[in-house]
A = this chain, B = another copy of it.
């Protein structure tokens, strides 16, 4: 066990699970823990569950609570980072929850840092993953939604009000399908896992033959998860092949839009599908993006790569952020 406080816990708080890691002073992972959460649970109850997961992962890392340097959380929604308040998290049903204060008091005063889940995911990939600490980077996370983050000059680009980076809610197809945000034609409504699931189900309803429902039964899943998509592609399911091809095409154009505006040195594609499928998913995105780059030489200079940290990107990014924020 380290003598000075250097062990930290990073938490990725999702709509369906709490994922926590404990790391040493060099951000090496000492222990991990994942717990599924129930939908609709009240903030107080969920915060207690988070505290339990934090205590458990710290214990597994051989670190007592009072020896813990900090806990850092990536939460899905709009965050008041200065005060550690989750202003709005639709996936959790939260509004103005003082996450930082509540958790600090449950954990006996350990400092708690909070930021947006996608921001910390991008920080994680930038600092410890596929970003390799290059100066200008764009991260795009494809999951239930599509999140985005921008690193500019080595730092998270937050904009004037902390709202920057919403690449997933840029409109790619005016008057296209309705998005979770209420608008039409956002990238998220065209190419997220949720959009892919919608399109596969629509194709099946329209009478197209697919193995997807059978694969879901085999895997005991009630949703078309990344692993269901992977299996369907392995079995050459035509419906899933077509839907994925279209989603990758949209994502390629999304990447090109971001590159044409931001001119980063690298684009990292993260999230569940990218983690499962790796470059099989990213290669077609890359090829469409290169086609849509306004400046053709950019195709030689700007790399488009899958994330390297998988499911740990958010929790690892959270601890990187906390070390900077708390100067540890």
Chain A residues engaging chain B, CB cutoff 8 angstroms: 78, 135-136, 148, 150, 152, 157-167, 169-174, 181, 183, 249-250, 253, 256-258, 260-265, 291-292, 294-295, 297-298, 301-302
Docked CA distance A302–B163 (Å) = 11
Docked CA distance A165–B263 (Å) = 8
Contact B294 A261 (CB under 8 A): no
Docked CA distance A291–B164 (Å) = 17
Q: Closest B residue to A254 by CB, please name it.
A: B171
Q: Closest B residue to A179 by CB, please name it.
A: B294
Q: Closest B residue to A263 by CB, please name it.
A: B159
Contact A169 B260 (CB under 8 A): yes
Docked CA distance A173–B190 (Å) = 12
Q: Could you say which residues of chain B place their CB within 8 Å of the CB of A250?
A: 174
Checking B157, B173, B261 against A165 with a beta-carbon cut-off of 8 angstroms, the contacting residue is: B261
Q: Could you say which residues of chain B place their CB within 8 Å of the CB of A165?
A: 261, 263
- Minimum CB–CB distance from A276 to chain B (whole Å) comes to 25
Contact B169 A171 (CB under 8 A): no
**Known contacts A172-B171, A172-B174, A173-B174; is-contact A163 B295 (Cβ 8 Å):** yes
Q: Could you say which residues of chain B place their CB within 8 Å of the CB of A302?
A: 160
- Minimum CB–CB distance from A142 to chain B (whole Å) comes to 16
Docked CA distance A30–B253 (Å) = 46
Among A250, A261, A302: residue with most chain B CB under 10 A: A261
Contact B263 A170 (CB under 8 A): no
**Known contacts A169-B294, A170-B257, A253-B171; is-contact A265 B160 (Cβ 8 Å):** yes
Checking B152, B167, B171, B263 against A163 with a beta-carbon cut-off of 8 angstroms, the contacting residue is: B263
**Known contacts A158-B263, A170-B170; is-contact A294 B163 (Cβ 8 Å):** yes
Docked CA distance A165–B264 (Å) = 11
Contact A294 B159 (CB under 8 A): no
Docked CA distance A264–B161 (Å) = 8
Contact B169 A172 (CB under 8 A): no
Q: Could you say which residues of chain B place their CB within 8 Å of the CB of A173?
A: 172-174
Q: Could you say which residues of chain B place their CB within 8 Å of the CB of A253?
A: 171, 174
Contact A301 B160 (CB under 8 A): yes
- Minimum CB–CB distance from A43 to chain B (whole Å) comes to 21
Q: Could you say which residues of chain B place their CB within 8 Å of the CB of A148?
A: 261
Contact B263 A167 (CB under 8 A): no
Contact B301 A166 (CB under 8 A): no
Among A78, A253, A291: residue with most chain B CB under 10 A: A253
Q: Closest B residue to A135 by CB, please name it.
A: B160
Contact A261 B258 (CB under 8 A): yes
Contact B136 A166 (CB under 8 A): no
Docked CA distance A301–B174 (Å) = 25
Contact A163 B292 (CB under 8 A): no
- 9 extra interface residue pairs, beta carbon distance < 8 Å, beyond A162-B263, A163-B294, A172-B174: A160-B263, A160-B265, A161-B263, A163-B260, A166-B294, A170-B170, A173-B173, A173-B174, A183-B291
Docked CA distance A129–B172 (Å) = 31
**Known contacts A136-B160, A160-B135, A253-B174; is-contact A260 B166 (Cβ 8 Å):** yes
